[in-house]
Chain A
């Protein structure tokens, strides 16, 4: 199969093009800039038929996407870090409006101090906005997931927006072989956006007026229900993709060498690729370890996590962000899911790679050794700190 070679950011842009995004509204921010540049090139060359609004801020980018989507157009944007934070109000608005907008987010650390490197605090901070969150491990997955995300989001039982994450620089600016599927095949997979309700002068409606307490709760319940239902749809869409394009990305949780594993680590994004090498090295030494990659964080795949808990004695959860006050979000969600599980293995949180700090395989091997040993001594450990002394916050 002939492959293109492209960065994760190009893969985002080609994903939006293949999905035939009709409206793009975007604002540049490092390390997302090459997404907006690539989209501009694709529109300027006539390859992509989109209305491209070069807005004056990310807040307006999301506002314009919301209005365009409410008018019945498929909308796309991309951002990172502070851009995502500036959008916060509109992220809640998009989900509350039940609009299937898809957005690339290039995971970058938040300032201060300034950093442009990989870190998940930006998207983890948007956990509660009602957006689905996909974390990609390579550029092929980025392109495929943008298209898959539209299919999930536009399902009339779901109608929720979706973020497609890639790690700053590790994917955004790194070239990898990527298979770009033919437009016709993508068109067969993803039909045009057909919203159940939209702004239409021939059928005028008023959207999102004041709702008193006797109705608001039901609006929120329906979002909750749609997010629950999205688990099944995400799985089905990934399976359909595999049938059509010959590759799956693991649905919600991708398992690696989990057969007969005694211990597992849970990780997301590019560190999963590194973790696979670490798992292989450990397996070569006869140590029974495996990897569960969180591809989807919202909705949280609690059933898959409980299944893993049945299989292993010890779990280490790797977080590339921290929820100040207690643990990384992947850890606290995992621990929360396990409380209701019949089997509760030993679980510990490793906070690692913050602000783009490199994570070589030997670091993950070190974590795997500790996970295997079920070593006590605290729930949360910051791994790889330069400071001497305690790395454990509690």
Chain B
């Protein structure tokens, strides 16, 4: 029998009210398994704030602070400052926001926290749109996607700009650790969190969290969607430690992006020509990632 590598203690209750097949709930569950119960979590508006349940309930067995949409990182900084003021050193502080709350409205506060180097863990659970409000495009929505504010229509009005690269933005802040992870690969995610959690400074995780409701796929396919995103390298697995890139999981053979796109209703309008643009962009990003890993490895300590 294979050895269990993920802690068994559950710090997130199963009684949350997330959608069937929600990827984001898994991100929270694995994160807390990796950090343990001496952890405080702050969450902004978004799916995660609703999943927690209605007053007086909470879905976490650790302290949980609901905060305003754009304040996740500043709030985590405030919790850390208070703990420091009290001399409490053995508690992890987590900001856990969606892609809208992180890459759009919360990016200013996050940039401030990262630039100051505040000792917190920030997790962006990425479901690639404003899902809680009903699938509006965010800066993390990928090129080509339908959303309710990129409704395709009769004019081909799908999202025309690529996804904002949050890991690159965070690396530019010279933080000790930034990484991608996926709810489809919990061992990889947990390992990365355990590696980074005691580093001093701001740690950033971009966690791929498929959303059956917003991406228009069947809820039992959430994990498969993450697997395909990895296998196509639409969403590669890597980490950046003090500026040094390392690909943490590499698919033996990259699958064509169509295998990922064709299972999702949000991409069903795409013609072959547009899919080709997506494939070329994914190819380029993958090659650039490998080149960065190759180029920066000499700086590894």
Enumerate chain A interface residues (CB-CB to B < 8 A).
22-23, 25, 50-51, 53-57, 59-61, 63-73, 75, 89-90, 93, 199-201, 204-212, 215
Contacts and interface: CB of A to CB of B under 8 A. Distances in A.
Looking at chain A's contact residues, the main secondary structure is mixed
B78 interface: yes
A23 B112 contact: no
Contacts of A53: 77-78, 81, 116, 118
Interface string B74-93: 11111101111110000100
B68 A67 contact: no
B63 interface: yes
Given A50-B85, A69-B78, A205-B63, 14 more contacts: A23-B78, A51-B84, A53-B118, A59-B70, A60-B77, A63-B71, A67-B76, A70-B78, A71-B86, A200-B63, A201-B37, A201-B63, A206-B60, A206-B64
A66 B75 contact: yes
B223 to A, nearest CB: 28
Interface in B55-73: 55-68, 70-71, 73
Nearest to A20: B85
A73 B112 contact: no
Given A71-B40, A204-B61, A59 B86 contact: no
B68 A89 contact: yes
A231 B227 CA distance: 61
Interface in B11-46: 37-40, 42
A205 B109 contact: no
Nearest to A210: B54
Contact of A205 (B58, B78, B84): B58
A201 B62 contact: yes
Given A22-B85, A54-B116, A64 B78 contact: yes
Nearest to B58: A206
A272 B251 CA distance: 75
Contacts of A59: 70-71, 74, 109
Given A56-B109, A56-B112, A90-B68, A63 B75 contact: yes
B74 A67 contact: yes
B111 interface: yes
Contacts of A208: 65-67
Contact of B82 (A51, A206, A210): A51
Nearest to A73: B82
- Please indicate which of the listed interface residues A53, A61, A200 has the most CB atoms of chain B within 10 Å of its own CB: A53
B63 A67 contact: no
Nearest to A209: B55
A210 B49 contact: yes
Chain B interface bracket (under 10, 10 to 19, 20 to 34, 35 or more):
35 or more
19 contacts: A25-B74, A25-B78, A59-B70, A59-B74, A60-B71, A60-B77, A61-B74, A63-B71, A63-B109, A67-B78, A67-B82, A70-B78, A70-B79, A71-B79, A71-B86, A201-B40, A209-B55, A211-B55, A212-B54
Given A64-B75, A68-B78, A206-B66, A57 B108 contact: yes
A198 to B, nearest CB: 9
A55 B67 contact: no
A204 B12 CA distance: 12
B188 interface: no
Nearest to A92: B68
A204 B62 contact: yes
B52 interface: yes
- Please indicate which of the listed interface residues A23, A199, A206, A209 has the most CB atoms of chain B within 10 Å of its own CB: A206
B53 interface: yes
Contacts of B50: 210
Contacts of B174: none
Contact of B74 (A60, A73, A89, A215): A60
Contact of A64 (B52, B57, B58, B74): B74
A92 to B, nearest CB: 9
A200 B53 CA distance: 20
Contacts of B62: 201, 204
A51 B93 CA distance: 16
B187 interface: no
A63 B63 contact: no
A223 B270 CA distance: 53
A73 B75 CA distance: 13
Contacts of A66: 67, 71, 75, 78
